[in-house]
Structure 1
Amino acid sequence: MGHPAAVWDTRAAIAVSKDWNGIDQVMLRNPQGASAKVSLHGGQVTSWRNDRGEELLFTSSKAIFKPPKAMRGGIPICFPQFGNCGSLEQHGFARNKLWTIDEDPPPLHSNDSHGKSFIDLLLKPSEEDLKCWPHSFEFRLRVSLAADGNLTMISRIRNINGKPFSFSFAYHTYLSVSDISEVRIEGLETLDFLDNLGQRERFTEQGDAITFESEVDRVYLGTPNCIAVLDHERKRTYVIRKDGLPDVVVWNPWEKKSKSMVDLGDEEYKQMLCVDGAAIEKPIALKPGEEWTGRVQLAVVPSSFCSEDLDPQ
């Protein structure tokens, strides 16, 4: 689909332009001035800004913006696996593929489009994908920006195969934070987690909130649908609401690991935190013709807001 430099859709604030690799990217804006940018490389949200123009997602200064490599930052989509196992590339292939704009998306619930600017993207497997993961699927992604600046991502994955398949999934969300040692997560206390730094051993969270003083790479299990990430210095709280995603990944590479990563600055671990809505421990199984939906909504509120105010629904 060819586009001039930037095409604005008059029905909603949507513009399509080319990035420096010539790949289409979609800019969503709301009337208050908030924005989100989605690249067709990976269906990846690469920017989300509030109405003051402040960037809410982290992207490394050393990120490699060149397919087929996934960009370090924003919200890469991990499908059909999270992590590194079997013949598939780490975190699966969806984040490295070229998606298309879905011109004829099936209707969603009216709440999912009312007063929002949104884009629908579509990924289908190529012949090459089918060699390494022999399952036919349709992956439809809606990214929407609401009037209040909230960012919502809805993934719908349908099995159009003759046989069942299963997959794991994560929205690998890089949040921008002032200083990782000033951040805490509320909503995961007392839960069990798998520790990826220790052969996926299972532990129970003991703290009354999660704070950071060393490398963390965990999958929290059976999590509530709403969790909060409090950034004391910026006096702001990210509220993550999710549906269809029972697990939450919490990751920060800390100092030693950052130094070994070519696409992350040595000190940049201080400004980032990954908190992912995910389905990992129990893979999603789809019979032929079945569809799965996984949704995450990201909001930012002033930090006077406390976790007692969180609506569990």
Structure 2
Amino acid sequence: MSASAAEKPVVGKPAEGHKASVELTKDAHGLDVVILRDPRGFFAQVHLHGGQVTAWKNERGEDLLFTSSKAIFKPPKAIRGGIPISFPQFSNFGVTEQHGFARNRLWAIDPDPAPLPPTGDNKASIDLILKQSSNEDQKIWNHSFEFRLRVMLGPEGELGLTARVRNMDSKPFSFTVAFQTYFAVTDISEVRIEGLETLDYLDNLQNRERFTEQGDALTFEGEVDRVYLNTPTKIAIIDHEKKTTFVIKKDGLPDAVVWNPWERKAKALTDFGDDEYKHTICLQPAAIEKPIILKPGEEWKGRQKIITVYSSYHSGRLDPMRVLASFDSI
């Protein structure tokens, strides 16, 4: 631990003797970050700006999430990459700014987090909270709420996010939400997504027209911007060149957005490298088609958990016992 980091409080410290660790420090841009480390050497970085996971690395130091080399680390600009949170709306279909304001706000460390499950595992976690904080927020979305987010790094290097939104208002409100997860891949042309076959989707490139997925897996030859509906709880992203499969398990998030800007749109994005579309796929567990409605005092909960499986064989060759066992708790 660096001298500057040593002077800062350690938050959510694991039990004595565990190698998992949680550290509050600052990044190279002077922004507050929380560093999670697990016993195997996996690493996750969470920015308080945006309540956003901005890095997840395996024990070899390889990036599992993509963050653009041109990402802007200057609030209130959202950080391009990692896992931004869209709330209280996804895209520009709503009353607030595109993808809502949660990814542009400064989150706080939750002073009263829910207790961790008494599993005894080597887990590192941090609990964050976002509330309506200003008159400006009220002008954008005039509802009182609490958004709690737990980020957890498990003993097998798995990354878990649990979101809870509570209505603190005197009247009902509705919202849409998404975990905009940017996965790092070797070559987008060698990537396939399994678990979305035969499902209906809304195509944002064709005025949200509804189609049905015809392929036995989703592959990429151009720009994609789709909202898949009523998706299964488990989806796999297969990177053939890296011999890696990401398995995403989700709950409370019925939809899944798949996005890649491809060459033309990548060049139009100021915070995205011209060729970086080749090295990422954005798969976003979400609740979009049917907004979530909360009455006063009600709470919504949504979760995603990601594990990496390394093998020279992917499709149909995942070890189901290992994968399912890793999903027993988030």
Q: Is the pair's TM-score, using the shorter chain for normalization, greater than 0.5?
A: yes
For residue 267 of structure 2, what is the amino acid of its counterpart?
A: K
Q: Kindly, what percent of the aligned residue pairs are identical?
A: 62
Between the aligned partners of 1:37 and 1:118, the Cα distance in structure 2 is: 11
Query: How far is 1:52 from its partner?
Result: 1.1
1:134-145 matches, within 5 Å, as 134-145=142-153
What TM-score does the superposition give when structure 2 sets the normalisation length? 0.90
Between the aligned partners of 1:60 and 1:274, the Cα distance in structure 2 is: 12
Which residue is 2:93 aligned to? Answer: 85
For residue 148 of structure 1, what is the amino acid of its counterpart?
A: E
Give the one of 96, 109, 114 matched to 1:106: 114
Matched, 1:22 2:33: no
2:204 and 2:225 in contact (8 A); partners too:
yes
Matched, 1:206 2:214: yes
Which structure 2 residue ranges, 5 or more long, are not aligned? none
Which structure 1 residue ranges, 5 or more long, are not aligned? none
Which residue is 2:303 aligned to? Answer: 295
Query: How far is 1:126 from its partner?
Result: 1.4
Which residue is 1:58 aligned to? Answer: 66
For residue 176 of structure 2, what is the amino acid of its counterpart?
A: S
Matched, 1:184 2:184: no
1:15 and 1:27 in contact (8 A); partners too:
yes
Between the aligned partners of 2:282 and 2:246, the Cα distance in structure 1 is: 12
Which residue is 2:249 aligned to? Answer: 241
Q: Spell out, residue by residue over 1:222-262, the C-alpha distance to the aligned partner (whole angstroms, 9 max, x if none).
A: 00000000000000000000000000000000011111111
Corresponding pairs, count: 310
Q: Spell out, residue by residue over 1:35-55, the C-alpha distance to the aligned partner (whole angstroms, 9 max, x if none).
A: 100000000000000111111
Query: How far is 1:5 from its partner?
Result: 2.9
Find the residue that maps to 1:5 and give its secondary structure.
helix
1:273-292 matches, within 5 Å, as 273-292=281-300
What TM-score does the superposition give when structure 1 sets the normalisation length? 0.95
Find the residue that maps to 2:266 and give its secondary structure.
helix
For residue 27 of structure 1, what is the amino acid of its counterpart?
A: I
1:59-74 matches, within 5 Å, as 59-74=67-82
Query: How far is 1:305 from its partner?
Result: 4.1
Where do 4+ consecutive residues of structure 1 move more than 2 Å? 3-12, 19-23, 106-111, 303-313
Which residue is 1:149 aligned to? Answer: 157
Between the aligned partners of 1:80 and 1:265, the Cα distance in structure 2 is: 28
Between the aligned partners of 2:189 and 2:71, the Cα distance in structure 1 is: 23
Which residue is 2:122 aligned to? Answer: 115
Between the aligned partners of 2:210 and 2:176, the Cα distance in structure 1 is: 18
For residue 117 of structure 1, what is the amino acid of its counterpart?
A: A
